[in-house]
Structure 1
Amino acid sequence: SELVRNKNAKETMKDLRLFFNGMGDGFSKVVVLIVAAATMVAGLRTLGLIDAISRSVSDFENAKAGLMLAFSAITGLITFISGSGNAAFYSFIEIIPQIAEKAGLDPIMVALPMQCMSNLFRSMSPVAAVVIIVSASIKVNPLVLVKRTWVPLMAGVLTVLLLSFLKYI
């Protein structure tokens, strides 16, 4: 359609190259974040922290709430710092089934709030691509945008946690 609009194949190819360079740049940042988060989880596993969490969780009576809150908080914090919800969620999701199994929990009870936290905290991160793009398009500082959206997003966080407690605990 761009070729029909421009009627200039050379200009259309130049624009297409710019488009693909931008996509490659964006995707490479996401891949780096996912690899870094997966490396962190591998390091935690090597240090024995994952096994320690599994053992300690199985000893507690009400491990459901603690496990859900702990992994939701970790996912939210990493998402807020990195600006990528997918990197944090996908790096931790592989260890959730084994920890939940050792604690006698449903893995969905831990994974669902984590996934919701990754999406909500991404919208609160001043370094998230969506926040930067929206703030640039409306010509405001990303921190101003985050400040305006923080309250409704935290209400969403509390709602997700409350519904998770009511459903699974």
Structure 2
Amino acid sequence: MPIWLIEFFGEGDLNAAFYLILFMTAPVWLAMIVVPESKTVRHLAQPLLVGSVYGLVLLYLVWQFYEARLIPQPLSTADYGGAKALANHPTVFLSLFCNLQILNLCVGTLLYQIALRNRMRVTVELVLCWLLGAVALIPLAVRMLIRKQSLN
């Protein structure tokens, strides 16, 4: 199905899906930032656990695209131009965006677990990770080096 047709008839659904993906990880982020000492948060904010749960959301999203016959054709060429053309497809973009949110959350829960082990508060690093992803590892590593803590 042509991209313009999907965007014309499905703009509202695409926007709703985008906002759902954007905010689906917010409860975990807010819990790690606002109540990091909570036992519930400590048990649930595990990279493999949240990655698996939200990975199911990604699988459901891709399944819905498949059911609606919105999956684009595979790459014709394995180069930058082909990948860019594929990523311009709305369903592929939403799938990649969902994957990015999941990966950022996995990195964030890893930061959270490192902070728990080292008895640190990492509010700034978690907000950075929520917004920028793995870039938040840099200030955490610098803080740990300054405090002469192991980076393990």
Question: TM-score under structure 1 normalisation?
Answer: 0.41
- Structure ranking higher on relative contact order (CA contacts 8 Å, 6+ apart): 2
Higher helix residue share: 1
